[in-house]
């Protein structure tokens, strides 16, 4: 890829005159930041000033190189994010809501669980623009995270941790279990301070301490090594969320949208997959495009939406997980099971008619599929 980039940049640069520097800005953005959900690229060239901000140093450098090849003079007012590389954040609520803009009334676009490390791109008022381990960029209320410097972040990462494996539960103040410190949901990560016979002492990332029942947690170090994605494990997680209400932007057992549901299933089986259905469809191995249901295996992801036409591109809008016996489980209204078999009482004619393709995530090695252990590595 590195060898290809110079050639592409020269091609782009030679395709424009000095009068069209704004086109160079656009083309570089199209190449390096085609998905604005994961790469921030908001740059402009006006009256000899190159300004704006980007989270991609490669895009910034490529743009400068392209303008330089055309001898275009400019004043550089670009801000490359993150602004402060020493500032890190860890989610300190059971579930933190991440929004499209830095205010509570803006759209919920995703969620992050307790213990999730976030790359802090910038801060405005009481809000942080962050990037999640699945690369999603969104705003989070500062009250939902704990800010750490590099040394504090390293200490957090080196600490022994627990992962909450029950669907829901609590961090209790003490072993009387009469007062709670926080609610907990599947996937939350806590710092282990002392292991006991029936319960363990643990801390939230913000330092709040309490005890958690041992049969509801596991050591992250053991849990991540023991994850072997198979039919039974995938079904167990999926079925444990039956009836969970649909929530646009939700990625936790408190509420999930369709892709948040499939993301959660794989997260609790040790894998991070992209956030949205239109991103998940680009991962894994293509299994079917012709409704040959016999080729599908439990865990395969089925994608639905609008087929491409001469006038419109394909649009992926829904995803579910195959569970066998002509059935799939998905979040629409609530998490429930549907069937592709017209003879089944759960037949879902609407989604069958807009079916696009099936992709297999299990044992696939595409770029957007990462082991959960990578989430705990220093970023």
Domains present along the chain, CATH in parentheses: 4-80 (3.30.1340), 88-156 (2.30.30.40), 159-225 (2.30.30.40), 231-371 (3.90.1720.10)
> Which pLDDT score, from 0 to 100, does residue 159 have?
94
Q: What is the pLDDT of residue 18?
A: 52
Active site residue 330: yes
pLDDT at position 42, please? 97
pLDDT value of residue 372: 85
258 catalytic residue (yes or no): yes
**What pLDDT shows up at residue 45?**
92
Catalytic residue flag (residue 336): no
CA distance 174 to 172: 5
Among 270, 265, 273, 167, CA closest to 228 = 270
Of 14, 88, 258, 365, which residue is the catalytic one? 258
| 105 SS3 class | coil
Q: What is the pLDDT of residue 224?
A: 78
> Active site residue: 14, 201, 330, 365, which one?
330
Side-by-side strand order, sheet with 315-324: 285-288, 355-360, 301-306, 315-324, 327-332, 334-339
Instruction: From residue 359, give the alpha-carbon distance in Å to each of 280, 283, 288.
Output: 9, 7, 7
**What is the reported pLDDT for 374?**
78
Q: Over the range 284-298, which residues count as b (16 or more CB within 10 Å of their CB) and which as e?
A: beebbeeeebeebeb
pLDDT, tens digit only, all 379 positions of the chain: 444 455 455 444 444 455 678 889 999 999 999 999 999 999 999 888 999 999 999 999 999 999 998 888 899 999 999 999 999 999 999 999 999 999 999 999 999 999 999 999 999 999 999 999 999 999 999 999 999 999 999 999 999 999 999 999 999 999 999 999 999 999 999 999 999 999 999 999 999 999 999 999 999 988 877 677 888 999 999 999 999 999 999 999 999 999 999 999 999 999 999 999 999 999 999 999 999 999 999 999 999 999 999 999 999 999 999 999 999 999 999 999 999 999 999 999 999 999 999 999 998 889 999 988 877 654 4
Choosing from 88, 114, 201, 318, the catalytic residue is 318
């Amino acid at each position: 890829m590195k060898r290809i980039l110079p050639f592409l940049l020269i091609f782009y640069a030679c395709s424009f005159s000095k009068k069209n520097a704004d086109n160079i800005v656009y083309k570089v953005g199209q190449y390096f930041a085609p998905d604005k959900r994961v790469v921030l690229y908001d740059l402009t060239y006006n009256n000899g000033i190159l300004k704006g901000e980007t989270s991609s140093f490669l895009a910034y450098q490529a743009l400068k190189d392209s303008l330089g090849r055309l001898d275009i003079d400019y004043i550089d007012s670009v801000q490359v994010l993150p602004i402060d590389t020493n500032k890190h954040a860890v989610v300190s609520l059971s579930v933190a809501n991440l929004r499209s803009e830095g205010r509570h009334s803006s759209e919920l676009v995703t969620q992050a669980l307790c213990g999730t490390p976030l790359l802090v791109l910038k801060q405005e008022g009481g809000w942080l623009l962050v990037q999640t381990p699945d690369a999603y960029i969104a705003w989070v209320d500062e009250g939902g995270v704990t800010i750490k410097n590099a040394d504090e972040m390293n200490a957090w990462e080196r600490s022994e941790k627990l992962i909450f494996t029950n669907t829901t539960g609590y961090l209790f103040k003490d072993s009387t279990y009469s007062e709670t410190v926080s609610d907990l949901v599947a996937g939350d990560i806590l710092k282990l301070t002392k292991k006991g016979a029936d319960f363990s002492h643990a801390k939230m990332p913000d330092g709040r301490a309490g005890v958690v029942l041992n049969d509801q947690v596991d050591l992250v170090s053991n849990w991540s090594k023991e994850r072997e994605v198979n039919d039974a494990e995938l079904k167990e997680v999926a079925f444990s969320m039956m009836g969970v209400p649909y929530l646009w932007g939700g990625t936790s057992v408190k509420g999930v949208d369709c892709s948040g549901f499939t993301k959660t299933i794989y997260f609790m089986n040790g894998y991070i997959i992209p956030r949205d259905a239109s991103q998940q469809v680009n991962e894994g191995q293509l299994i079917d495009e012709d409704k040959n249901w016999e080729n599908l295996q439990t865990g395969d992801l089925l994608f639905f939406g609008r087929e491409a036409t001469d006038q419109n591109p394909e649009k992926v809008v829904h995803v579910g997980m195959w569970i066998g016996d002509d059935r799939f489980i998905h979040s629409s209204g609530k998490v429930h099971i549907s069937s592709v078999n017209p003879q089944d009482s759960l037949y879902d004619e609407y989604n069958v008619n807009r079916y696009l393709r099936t992709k297999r995530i299990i044992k696939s090695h595409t770029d957007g599929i990462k082991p959960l252990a990578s989430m705990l590595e220093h970023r």
